[in-house]
Structure 1
Amino acid sequence: MTSSTKWDKLIPAAIILFSVIPVLGGALRLGELGGGAEITPDNARFFASPVPVVVHAITASVYCVLGAFQFSPGFRRSRPSWHRTAGRILVLCGLLGALSGLWMTVFYPKPDDVGVLLTGTRLVFGTAWVAFIALGFAAIRRRDVTGHRAWMIRGFAIGLGAGTQAVTLSAWLVAVGTPDRLSKALLMLASWLINLAVAEWIIRRQVKPSRATVQVRAALRESR
């Protein structure tokens, strides 16, 4: 197996593995709503208005799992029609996931551990998620493949934020204990920033010319 073939399989697998906790969390929430679980102060808002959380759980899960395969260069090259079809589905799921998340942030009653900082953070990154997807879609309509890839990677980084948040919050819970309102907000903010930092590294790594390309360009300049 070549190095590129290994990465073609490892990257989607790693992303899907990273998405397991939020996807399972969404599935449990759907099961809770569909199974008529006991209504408690923690879930009363979901039973009072279930549509947004159902839409968010389904679309965000599809977005994370399906989007993982877009990070396999070999898979994209060998199945270009699949890449385009999946891309359209991802645009729809990403927008619905972001908009439903924004709706819940604005209109759902706030739990005790959600304050102004976390609410504002969710609004900023939820809006950025919508904007990045829109910019990525506009870029591919202009045949700007590089811009399309960059904006879609940034959007995916935000959409995958729940996976990083599960890791950071779990680590804090084990090391320190239950986070308070401020700690939870900062941990969730840090998770989105980590994802965006990784996204920018990937984007710059992709656009950086290879050593062979640099050598060819240098040779051409010298021959002039």
Structure 2
Amino acid sequence: MPAALILLNAIPMAFGAFRVAQLTGGAEVTPENARFFAAPLPVVLHIFSVSLYSVLGAFQFVPGFRRRRPGWHRAAGWLLIPCGLAAALSGLWMTLFYARPPGDGDLLSGLRLVFGSAMVASIVLGLAAIRRRDIARHRAWMMRGYAIGLGAGTQVLTNLPWLLIVGTPDETSRAVLVGAGWVINLAVAEWIIRKRLTQPVR
């Protein structure tokens, strides 16, 4: 499970590392990356926080690991909460204040605001649930937040076939393909949550 989740996010993390290398290595400023050079802090914060969130969070979903190392699970969880919030909030900031790149329209911006806000809400609700000792709701909300945070990995899978078969998508197609990544992840998360609810408690 952890290896599969980390692999799913490998390509976005590689692109993120490339972006950080551009910003720190004095790469040429182009129309495509000018917004990042004008305000580098949000994108760097987003890259580092979402990378740590996706890698460290992958190990939180292994039941045997949680049982054997409950202290690690709690310590990692307290680190994941600020990482997840930083990833979501920096993503929202970039959506609102960065200049839109070509191909990004109102629909895609709206989807980013909706899913980014949903990620923040999921993490906050998960934190509130564990403070009430409601483990089932804590796991469910944290799983939903993680599914949204891992959206970029699935978006590679939804966009790549279209690029290879059809070509560059227009604004509407791009929004649908990107949105599909979040929807697929949330659908899988909900399926796992519902499946666990139907299993007997041990």
User: What are the superposed Cα offsets for residues 179-205 of structure 1, whole Å, 9 maximum, x if unpaired?
Assistant: 111111000111111111000001011
Q: Post-superposition, which runs of at least 4 consecutive aligned residues in structure 1 deviate over 4 A?
A: none
What's the offset of the Cα at 1:99? 0.3
Equivalent residue of 2:9, what SS?
helix
Tell me what 2:60 maps to: 70
Tell me what 1:28 maps to: 18
Equivalent residue of 1:150, what SS?
helix
**Residue 19 of structure 2 is aligned to residue 19 of structure 1:** no
C-alpha RMSD over aligned residues:
0.8
Amino acid at match of 1:21: I
User: What are the superposed Cα offsets for residues 92-150 of structure 1, whole Å, 9 maximum, x if unpaired?
Assistant: 10000000000000000111211000000000000000000000000000000000000
Larger Rg: 1
Equivalent residue of 1:21, what SS?
helix
User: How far apart in 1 are the matches of 2:164 and 2:61?
Assistant: 32
Tell me what 2:170 maps to: 180
Of 55, 62, 66, which aligns to 2:45? 55
User: How far apart in 1 are the matches of 2:184 and 2:112?
Assistant: 15
Tell me what 1:124 maps to: 114
User: How far apart in 2 are the matches of 1:163 and 1:209?
Assistant: 29
Amino acid at match of 1:114: D
Tell me what 1:147 maps to: 137
Amino acid at match of 2:41: V
Of 95, 101, 108, which aligns to 2:98? 108
Point out where structure 1 has 5 or more consecutive residues left out of the alignment. Answer: 1-10, 214-224
User: How far apart in 1 are the matches of 2:102 and 2:17?
Assistant: 24
User: What are the superposed Cα offsets for residues 30-63 of structure 1, whole Å, 9 maximum, x if unpaired?
Assistant: 0110001000000000000000000000000000
Amino acid at match of 1:85: A
Point out where structure 2 has 5 or more consecutive residues left out of the alignment. Answer: none
% same residue: 63
Of 65, 69, 73, which aligns to 1:79? 69
